[in-house]
Amino acid sequence: MDRAALLGLARLCALWAALLALFPCGAQGNWMWLGIASFGVPEKLGCANLPLNSRQKELCKRKPYLLPSIREGARLGIQECRSQFRHERWNCMVAPATAAGPLGAGPLFGYELSSGTKETAFIYAVMAAGLVHSVTRSCSAGNMTECSCDTTLQNGGSASGGWHWGGCSDDVQYGMWFSRKFLDLPIRNTTGKESKVLLAMNLHNNEAGRQAVAKLMSVDCRCHGVSGSCAVKTCWKTMSSFEKIGHLLKDKYENSIQISDKIKRKMRRREKDQRKIPIHKDDLLYVNKSPNYCVEDKKLGIPGTQGRECNRTSEGADGCNLLCCGRGYNTHVVRHVERCECKFIWCCYVRCRRCESMTDVHTCK
Ligand SMILES: *[C@@H]1O[C@H](CO)[C@@H](O)[C@H](O)[C@H]1NC(C)=O
Ligand SMILES: *[C@@H]1O[C@H](CO)[C@@H](O)[C@H](O)[C@H]1NC(C)=O
Ligand SMILES: *[C@@H]1O[C@H](CO)[C@@H](O)[C@H](O)[C@H]1NC(C)=O
């Protein structure tokens, strides 16, 4: 990632942390930890001074060596969310700071964390998955005493098939356990029907995120044998790249299931005629319909799409038509100057020409 993106990320996280610190209640108190992504070396601050809720602080005190993984998990999740949604009306960003103050006047990102929409579902899933991924990486790297590579596979394999398990297989079990422990707020400690269904939804989506990591485990092999004959293979299980996991979750987001806001013994689909179709643990669930994210809503912290760059020729979500919600777009010409037609001159320097090019940039009205 480039510096600007990192800085943006740090700001975003600081913003989330600050905002969430203002609302340290219920599910939102669970989200302060994202602010950790903005601390360079969170270990130096100590668990007590980090933006964690009391349960997480407790866990942190018992396992301070997990802090780098927690930070990395937050970073992974936020970065993947922004990457997957970069072309959409909701682009996983908070509203920019306004003249009213660095944090604006109202709860900026608060909305997506508590609104019970598809976007809420994605955020929870991708963050829970990020934590599994980073903790598991750390286990495999041998950085942890209580977890390591998957040892259950040792000595296994298929001699007739010409392969055996070897190397270090990623073991997601510890990462899954930790992600649950760290993120899943118990349901019983809430009041009101609505918050109860939202909490059940969030817990389900946390788990869906973790399941995505487990589901995308794959097997890598290396060949041995005379000059690459591959007579013998060593294989190990490995997690997919987090980008791949993000893609799967984006897919789940697009096919997410609306559930009834009346929670009976378990969650049910909202559509009565579809209630027979089971809900799987890797499905993403939401309660409330999303707003269209077209126009700014300061109260909800929705920035709107005005000023967003769009693609004039695309039919997709990034096309000016959809992204600008039919309001049209402005076009300005941007001049690029770069070194070009570089030649190596004997001896020894490189001579280039300066080339100018013009590109049209379109932004939503
Ligand atoms: C493991 O620990 C080393 C040294 O502290 C660190 O540089 C590395 O990034 C860690 N790796 C993972 C995957 O956590
Ligand atoms: C509910 O939460 C409060 C404060 O967060 C805590 O003191 C209480 O013990 C909790 N109750 C249960 C049943 O977990
Ligand atoms: C705009 O969209 C078209 C069609 O989808 C695509 O080929 C093109 O690369 C896009 N341009 C930019 C600048 O992303």
pLDDT per residue, tens digit, the chain (365 aa), is 444 444 444 444 444 444 444 333 344 455 666 666 666 666 777 787 777 778 888 888 898 888 889 889 988 998 999 999 999 999 887 544 333 333 333 333 456 777 899 999 999 999 999 999 999 999 999 988 899 999 888 778 887 888 889 889 999 999 999 999 999 877 665 666 667 888 899 999 999 999 999 999 999 998 887 776 788 888 999 999 999 999 999 999 999 999 998 877 788 999 989 989 999 999 999 999 999 999 998 877 788 999 999 999 999 999 999 999 999 999 999 999 998 889 888 888 888 999 999 999 999 99
Q: Enter the tokens of residue 180.
A: 């649950």
Rounded Cα distance between 228 and 46, Å, is 51
- Terminal alpha carbon distance of the chain: 29
Q: Taking a C-beta distance cutoff of 8 angstroms, is the pair 213, 237 a contact?
A: no
Distance from the CA of 359 to the center of ligand 3, in angstroms?
Answer: 13
Q: What are phi and psi of 58, to 5 degrees?
A: -60, -50
Residue 105 confidence (pLDDT): 30
Q: What secondary structure letter does DSSP report for 35? A: G
Residue 7 confidence (pLDDT) = 46
Angstrom distance (rounded) from CA 29 to CA 269 = 28
362 CB near ligand 1 (under 6 Å): no
Q: Which ligand is nearest to the CA of 147?
A: 1
CA–centroid distance, 319 to ligand 3, in Å, is 9
pLDDT on residue 40: 66
Torsion angle (degrees, nearest 10) of CA 130, 136, 138, 144: 130
Query: Would you state the pLDDT for residue 310?
Result: 96
311 lines ligand 3 (CB under 6 A): yes
Instruction: Fill in the DSSP letter of residue 318.
Output: T
Ligand 2, atom 1, residue with closest C-alpha:
189
- Classify the phi-psi angles of 58: left when phi > 0, otherwise alpha if psi is within -120 to 50, otherwise beta: alpha
Specify the pLDDT at position 284: 97
| Ligand 2 centre distance from Cα of residue 206 (Å) | 21
Q: State the Cα–Cα distance between residues 78 and 116, nearest whole angstrom.
A: 18
Q: Is 137 in the pocket of ligand 1 (CB under 6 A)?
A: yes
Ligand nearest to the CA of 359: 3
Angle (CA) 11 17 23, round 5°: 140
Spatial contact of 163 and 230, defined as CB atoms under 8 Å apart: no
Q: Render pLDDT for 49-79 as a digit per residue (tens, 0 to 9).
A: 777 778 888 888 898 888 889 889 988 998 9
Backbone angles phi, psi at 359, to 5 degrees: -130, 145
**Nearest CA residue ID for atom 5, ligand 3:** 314
Residue with tokens 């001159």: 345
